[in-house]
Amino acid sequence: MKNSKALTYLLLISSTAFWGVSFILTKELFLTEEHMTVTILITLRLAIASAVMLPMLALTRRLQPIRKEDLKWFLLLALCEPFIYHLCETSGVQLVSGSLASVVIATIPLFVPFGVWAAYRKRIGLPLIVGVTLSLIGVAVMLVGGEGLTGNLKGMLFLSGAVAIAVVYTLLLVKIVSRYNPLVITTWQNLIGLVYFLPLMLVFDAGHLPLLSYSPRMLAMLLALGVCCSTLAYAGYNYGVRNLGASEACIFNNAIPVFSLAAALAIGQESFSWPKLIGVAVVITGVVISQMPDRRHGG
């Protein structure tokens, strides 16, 4: 049991790290590829993810077919993420810095427990409330130590939409996560998302495709986004939701700015400051507290 919980935590931390880095990689693609568009980036990312995972699962005979009664949930799941979520998130990252975008996305855990309570009447424990609150304080400290509130308003609205749709995604995920392997859910989700995105990209942005550089650096970043961020990260998160619950797994997203900041510092997109470092420590403390049992109810 302890090993299973340790594995769950490891996968959730890995997912958080991949998602944190994804903001910086996405921003870097927009900065270095003049003709990169939102729909091209997402379509290529999902195409890579599907091209890697479908054959792998098929060869290992782990590709579970979607049951007829669950098809509607998969279609809705993919409509939320990757389709609407990535449209909002990637559009937001195009307009603001990657680290600021990660800070906004890190507020998702604040809303998920209340969404779970509203939809499933699951009790909200005191450690979870304290942990989420403390983590958000850490996120605020990081924000003050970075760009402040000067982000592009349109970009911030896109990111707020991504937060809202992520809550809906998590609530829908609860419907099917116990019946399918998390990697299988992610694979079907990406493939259906690709079907949603491909016509959109071909109609509006196909003319930009020949103008991209297709340099090794560009392809490496897309490969990392497709395999690590769109596949492994979602699979780890889905595994966490299945084993810990939606509210408990989602709290790990509060640490996304930690990894975004580290990646931004590493490639020179951000500069070091003490408020940012203090914010990182507070975020991590909040994540740890959120996982403590609620002694008031014998947890």
Per-residue pLDDT of 176-220, as tens digits, reads: 888 888 888 889 999 999 999 999 999 999 999 999 999 999 999
Q: Say whether pLDDT at 79 is over 80.
A: yes
**Quick one: angle between helices 38-59 and 85-95, nearest 10?**
130
pLDDT at 299: 47
Mean pLDDT on 80-97: 90
Q: Which helix (H) or strand (E) holds 65?
A: none
Mean pLDDT on 227-244: 87
Q: Say whether pLDDT at 85 is over 70.
A: yes
pLDDT at 294: 65
Whether residue 293 is preceded by a cis peptide bond, meaning omega within 30 degrees of 0, is: no
pLDDT at 66: 93
Mean pLDDT on 18-30: 91
Count of all residues that appear for the chain in the document: 299
pLDDT at 4: 79
Total-model pTM: 0.80
Q: Say how far apart CA 222 and CA 103 lie, in whole Å.
A: 22
Give percent of the chain above pLDDT 70: 91
Binning pLDDT at 50, 70 and 90, where does residue 145 land? Answer: low
